[in-house]
């Protein structure tokens, strides 16, 4: 066993000596070999990284590209929809604008027509106003003429109706005295021959002597001119000749003619025909 140990030590020493003798050349070879294998390893590592990156890109990129394309497509559609909506709104506003323009033209035409009609109406109104003023002036002139003619036809204090002038007394007398007053005035007690004359007389509220009596023949009533009764307006139940009633009175506010005692005092109404008979 001791012999074996001595042999091993000797081999080891030889190897060490050999190593010392050949040391520098071997280290260089080892270094060169390590450098070469290091570069190869680096190249391999780089290739592996590139391969891994390509794999990752092949797995990830298609989804991103698709999403990007989808985004681009979606953005294009959205823009297309947006511009289409803008176009439609523009067309709508353009249509509304045209309608407003047409309505404005129609309103302007209506306004022009109304203005023309108003001007025509104003002209007609001015003409009618002028005519009215002329007619009013003519009426006033005719009234003045009528007043002047009436004053010439009927004396002051007399009233003109139809073709006669009428005078109502302010005092009271019997029938005969009343007639004498009318005769002095160039007239006589009133004779009533029509409904129109009776209506005229009904405007007065006083009870008046009229030119009616049956003094000559009882029950035969005649007017002061001798004519008979062509028109009658006796009150109900009249004449009744109650207590010698032989003269006629008119009661405008009551019911018509009435026979009354000639001696009683009443106001009277005189009638005078106009000279022209109109």
Residues 51-80, buried b or exposed e (16+ Cβ, 10 A)?
eeeeeeeeeeeeeeeeeeeeeeeeeeeeee
pLDDT tens-digit profile, the chain (278 residues)? 545 445 454 544 554 554 444 445 555 554 565 555 666 677 777 778 777 777 766 665 555 555 666 666 667 888 888 888 988 999 998 899 999 999 999 999 999 999 999 999 999 999 999 999 999 999 989 987 776 666 668 888 999 998 899 999 999 999 999 999 999 999 999 999 999 999 999 888 789 999 999 999 999 999 999 999 999 999 999 999 888 899 999 987 767 899 999 999 999 999 998 865 44
Task: Strands of 162-227 (E only): list them.
Answer: 164-168, 188-189, 208-213, 222-223
Beta bridge partners of 124: none
Q: Which residues contact 150 (CB under 8 A, 6 or more apart)?
A: 160
Which residue, chain included where needed, has tokens 């004396």? 155
Cβ neighbour number for residue 276 with a 10 Å cutoff? 9
pLDDT single digits (tens) 126-165: 999 999 999 999 998 998 777 666 666 888 899 999 889 9
Task: Strands of the chain (E only): list them.
Answer: 159-161, 164-168, 188-189, 208-213, 222-223, 247-251, 256-260, 267-273
> Model's pTM, two decimal places?
0.48
Residue 27: predicted pLDDT:
56
Residue 124: predicted pLDDT:
92
Residue 18: predicted pLDDT:
46
Task: Strands of 120-161 (E only): list them.
Answer: 159-161
68 Cα distance to chain centroid: 65
Residue 168: predicted pLDDT:
95
Cβ–Cβ under 8 Å, residues 191 and 211? yes
Cβ–Cβ under 8 Å, residues 259 and 247? yes
Residue 19: predicted pLDDT:
47
Round to whole Å and give the CA distance between 267 and 166. Answer: 13
Round to whole Å and give the CA distance between 45 and 65. Answer: 29
Round to whole Å and give the CA distance between 93 and 198. Answer: 83
Residue 274: predicted pLDDT:
82
């Amino acid at each position: 066993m001791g012999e074996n140990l001595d042999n091993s030590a000797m081999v080891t020493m030889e190897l060490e000596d050999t190593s010392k003798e050949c040391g520098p050349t071997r280290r260089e070879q080892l270094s060169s070999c390590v450098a070469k294998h290091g570069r190869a390893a680096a190249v391999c590592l780089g290739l592996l990284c590139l391969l891994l990156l390509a794999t990752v890109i092949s797995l990830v990129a298609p989804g991103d590209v698709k999403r990007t394309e989808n985004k681009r497509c979606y953005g294009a559609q959205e823009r297309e929809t947006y511009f289409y909506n803008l176009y439609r709104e523009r067309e709508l506003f353009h249509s509304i604008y045209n309608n407003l323009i047409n309505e404005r033209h129609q309103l302007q035409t209506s306004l022009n027509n109304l203005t023309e009609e108003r001007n025509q109406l104003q002209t007609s109104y001015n003409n009618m106003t002028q005519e009215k003023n002329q007619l009013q002036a003519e009426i006033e002139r005719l009234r003045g003429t009528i007043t002047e003619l009436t004053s010439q036809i009927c004396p002051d204090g007399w009233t003109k109706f139809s073709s006669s002038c009428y005078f109502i007394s302010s005092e009271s007398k019997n029938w005969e005295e009343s007639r004498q007053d009318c005769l002095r005035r160039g007239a006589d007690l009133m004779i009533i021959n029509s409904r129109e004359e009776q209506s005229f007389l009904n405007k007065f509220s006083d009870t008046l002597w009229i030119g009616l009596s049956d003094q000559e023949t009882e029950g035969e009533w005649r007017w002061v001119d001798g004519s008979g009764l062509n028109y009658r307006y006796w009150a109900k139940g009249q004449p009744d000749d109650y207590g010698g009633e032989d003269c006629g009175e008119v009661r405008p506010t009551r019911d018509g003619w009435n026979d009354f005692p000639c001696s009683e005092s009443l106001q009277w109404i005189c009638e005078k025909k106009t000279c022209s008979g109109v």
